[in-house]
């Protein structure tokens, strides 16, 4: 099975910089070992979708509105993303949960709207350092997943990817251990098993994210129960991300 690698550029790179990045990435990516989804900023999405059309590289957005259309000034709808060729969307990243106060309820609504419009959802869950230090990690992940997938049909889970991203590991240079990641993947699959079925728990794709780098990526993405990774900082470096995407075992 190929690994699924997702690059979240966050609020970095102007469209002209993303254009240069993508020209290089598309030309250099072999697709032998990994599937890659790149998630630049909204304003870079049209050029990104255009440059990757017919290539092995897929494009994702970093956020989407929970509403279909109408008087929601400043929002971007799932249909708009779909229309320009975006295939994935990251929903519930901890930046959005913490800095923009997104709740599990809102995230659940965003997922439903995105799925209805044919987008694949990369749903982020993960505990804070305080949760971890008080032994609440697994309860937090369980609660987030239960609330985020509430009301989804089992067949819709085919378009849902769960990214386990411990908040204390994001952008800190402090990655989770192999044991942490394996245990979290087990909890994710257990919740899906309890809410759906054995098949759904086996089939759902589970990613790890949080300070992935060229040194830890091999061990962390080959953990039991992990199908790939969500990269922040490292994905901004086209040479490094290409190297991982082309060579990961």
Give the integer Cα–Cα distance in Å for 145 and 223. Answer: 20
**Between 201 and 232, whose beta carbon lies closer to ligand PGA?**
232
Taking CB under 6 A as the criterion, the residue among 31, 118, 171, 218 binding ligand PGA is 171
Q: How far is the CB of 191 from ligand PGA (least distance, A)?
A: 21
**Backbone dihedral region for residue 210 (phi beyond 0: left; psi -120 to 50: alpha; all else: beta):** left
- For residue 203, give Cα distances in angstroms to 154, 162, 188: 11, 11, 12
Residues 10-49 that bind ligand PGA (CB under 6 A): none
Q: 143 catalytic, yes or no?
A: no
187 and 138 Cβ atoms separated by less than 8 Å: yes
141 and 127 Cβ atoms separated by less than 8 Å: yes
Both tokens of 103, joined, read 């709740």
**Between 93 and 112, whose beta carbon lies closer to ligand PGA?**
93
Give the integer Cα–Cα distance in Å for 129 and 49. Answer: 37
Give the integer Cα–Cα distance in Å for 209 and 212. Answer: 7
Q: How far is the CB of 235 from ligand PGA (least distance, A)?
A: 7
165 binds ligand PGA (CB under 6 A): yes
CB within 8 Å of 79: residues ≥ 6 apart: 68, 69, 117
Whose tokens are 């032998």? That residue is 32
122 binds ligand PGA (CB under 6 A): no
Q: How far is the CB of 210 from ligand PGA (least distance, A)?
A: 5
230 binds ligand PGA (CB under 6 A): yes
Taking CB under 6 A as the criterion, the residue among 232, 241, 242, 248 binding ligand PGA is 232
187 binds ligand PGA (CB under 6 A): no
Catalytic residue, from 165, 194, 198, 214: name it.
Answer: 165
Q: How far is the CB of 42 from ligand PGA (least distance, A)?
A: 17
Q: How many residues does the chain have?
A: 249
What count of Cα atoms within 13 Å lies in the side-chain half-sphere of residue 82? 14
- For residue 228, list its beta bridge partners: 4, 207
209 binds ligand PGA (CB under 6 A): yes
CB within 8 Å of 193: residues ≥ 6 apart: 200, 201
Taking CB under 6 A as the criterion, the residue among 5, 7, 8, 81 binding ligand PGA is 8
226 binds ligand PGA (CB under 6 A): no
Taking CB under 6 A as the criterion, the residue among 34, 110, 211, 227 binding ligand PGA is 211
Given the rule CB under 6 A, which of 100-108, 128-136, 148-156, 206-214 is the region that contacts ligand PGA? 206-214
Q: How far is the CB of 132 from ligand PGA (least distance, A)?
A: 16
The binding site for ligand PGA (CB under 6 A) comprises: 8, 165, 170-171, 209-212, 230-234
């Amino acid at each position: 099975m190929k690994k699924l690698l997702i690059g979240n550029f966050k609020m970095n790179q102007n469209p002209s910089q993303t254009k240069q990045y993508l020209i290089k990435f598309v030309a250099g990516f072999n697709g032998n070992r990994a599937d890659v989804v790149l998630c630049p900023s909204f304003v870079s999405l049209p050029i990104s979708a255009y440059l990757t059309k017919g290539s092995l590289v897929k494009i994702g957005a970093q956020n989407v509105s929970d509403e279909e259309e109408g008087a929601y000034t400043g929002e971007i709808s799932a249909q708009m993303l779909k229309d320009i060729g975006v295939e994935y969307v990251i929903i519930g990243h901890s930046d959005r949960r913490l800095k923009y106060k997104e709740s599990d309820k809102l995230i659940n609504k965003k997922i439903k709207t995105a799925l209805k419009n044919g987008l694949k959802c990369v749903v982020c869950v993960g505990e804070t350092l305080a949760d971890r230090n008080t032994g609440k990690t697994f309860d937090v992940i369980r609660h987030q997943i239960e609330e985020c997938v509430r009301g989804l049909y089992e067949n819709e889970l085919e378009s849902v990817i769960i990214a386990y991203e411990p908040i204390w590991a994001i952008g800190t240079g402090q990655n989770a251990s192999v044991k942490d990641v394996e245990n979290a993947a087990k909890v994710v699959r257990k919740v899906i098993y309890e809410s759906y079925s054995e098949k759904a728990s086996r089939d759902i794709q589970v990613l790890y994210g949080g300070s992935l780098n060229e040194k830890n990526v091999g061990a962390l993405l080959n953990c039991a129960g992990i199908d790939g990774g969500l990269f922040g900082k490292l994905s901004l470096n086209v040479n490094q991300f290409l190297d991982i995407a082309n060579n990961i075992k």
